[in-house]
Homo-oligomer: A and B are copies of this chain.
Amino acid sequence: MSITIKDVAKLANVAPSTVSRVIADNPRISEETKKRVRKAMKELGYHPNLIARSLASKSTSVLGLVMPESADVIFQNPFFSSVLQGLSESAHEKMYALQMTTGKTKEEIYEEVVQMVQGGRVDGLVLLNSRVEDKLMSYLMNSNFPFVVIGKPYKNEEQITHIDNDNFRAAREVTEYLLALNHDRIAFIGGSLELVVTVDRLLGYEKALRDANITLRDEYVVHGEFLEESGRGAILELLKLDEPPTALVVTDDLVALGVMHMLDEMEMTVGKDISIVSFNNVLLARMAQPPLTSIDINIFSLGYEAAKNVILKIENPREPVKRIIIPHKLVVRSSCQKLE
């Protein structure tokens, strides 16, 4: 039997409602009684029952994090940790707690989210939008529940607040970087095409080539998972070609690492025999051998801004829809060489 507001009230010789008001720091309570009540709280070691409070006030101060389907892939990627760190820091500043979904399939996650939302367990959601997630988003839009997505929503882009990089431009820039190094046989190794981020980056790559009057070749574009394994398969295909590429745009550091490993087994030297640029600039990029030139997309900020913006939405339901673009930056290391 734990200490309730009534126990405090009794000890302080006031009504329970007064105690409640003191907790909320209601200005209409005299300083004197506030002091008395606070003393009683201390004495009894009182801590408010957050559940009861939530029930009465219909708000929880909890943020939900919706993991993408096939979460095992994301758990492997350092990207996730950094987003989480950003979310955590932001949530903490605004005194929100963080709760995450644990489901694996799309259906499980959908059910979990509905439970969270209808069950009143969270005040808002951050979607780690990986796959196209139609059903879930339309549900949330219809129920008018506060949420933001990290990445670009597959559709209804104009009606959903989202935090993203300008992936199109970033990809164009890295490709132009390679072009400036005199490469013209540049291949693209991407994640699943179901992901908007992959598409954006692919388009940026294509745009840069087209602007440079270089014909696009289908054989130069391959796809896989955001995992190290997929990099290995991809590179094999590319090197079998009659005119193998001299440079690679890889959409993820982890994949790039797989590529490099494979290349190494084939006795090709990255930064000499072949050039690589990749995306995300996680710790691995710096630690790779040779260190990878990579686009830093500021992952922490993606998370930080995401949490900040759901909270904005929660606290002001008429907060406008926003599209927040986190800046990126090319970090040049030594995985690329200038061609003569």
Residues of chain A having any CB pair with chain B under 8 Å:
2, 47-52, 54-55, 60, 62, 71-72, 75-76, 78, 80-82, 84-85, 88-89, 91-92, 96-100, 102-104, 108, 114-116, 118-121, 228, 254, 257-258, 261, 264, 283-284, 287-289
**A117 to B: closest C-beta gap in Å:** 8
**A196 to B: closest C-beta gap in Å:** 23
Chain B residues, Cβ within 8 Å of A75: 81-82, 84-85
Contacting pair A283 B99 (CB below 8 A): no
Q: Of all chain B residues, which has the CB nearest A143? A: B2
Chain B residues, Cβ within 8 Å of A264: 289
Q: Which of B51, B82, B84, B92 contacts A54 (CB 8 A)?
A: B51
Contacting pair B287 A228 (CB below 8 A): yes
| Bound Cα distance A119, B48 (Å) | 6
Contacting pair B2 A118 (CB below 8 A): yes
Query: What are 22 contact pairs spanning A and B, CB under 8 A?
Result: A47-B114, A47-B118, A48-B119, A49-B118, A50-B119, A51-B55, A51-B60, A51-B119, A51-B120, A52-B55, A71-B85, A75-B82, A76-B283, A78-B81, A92-B103, A92-B108, A99-B99, A100-B100, A258-B287, A261-B287, A287-B288, A289-B289
Most buried by B among A60, A71, A289: A289
| Bound Cα distance A60, B54 (Å) | 13
Chain B residues, Cβ within 8 Å of A283: 76, 228, 254
Chain B residues, Cβ within 8 Å of A287: 228, 257-258, 261, 284, 288
**A32 to B: closest C-beta gap in Å:** 27
**A314 to B: closest C-beta gap in Å:** 16
Contacting pair B100 A98 (CB below 8 A): yes
Most buried by B among A60, A102, A118: A102
Apart from A49-B55, A52-B55, A228-B287, 4 more pairs, CB < 8 Å:
A2-B118, A47-B114, A76-B283, A78-B81
| Bound Cα distance A79, B191 (Å) | 24
Q: Which 8 A-B pairs have the closest CB atoms?
A: A50-B119, A47-B118, A92-B102, A289-B289, A75-B85, A99-B99, A88-B102, A51-B54
Contacting pair A99 B62 (CB below 8 A): yes
Chain B residues, Cβ within 8 Å of A48: 119
**A313 to B: closest C-beta gap in Å:** 19
Q: Which of B52, B80, B120, B228 contacts A50 (CB 8 A)?
A: B120
| Bound Cα distance A51, B287 (Å) | 46
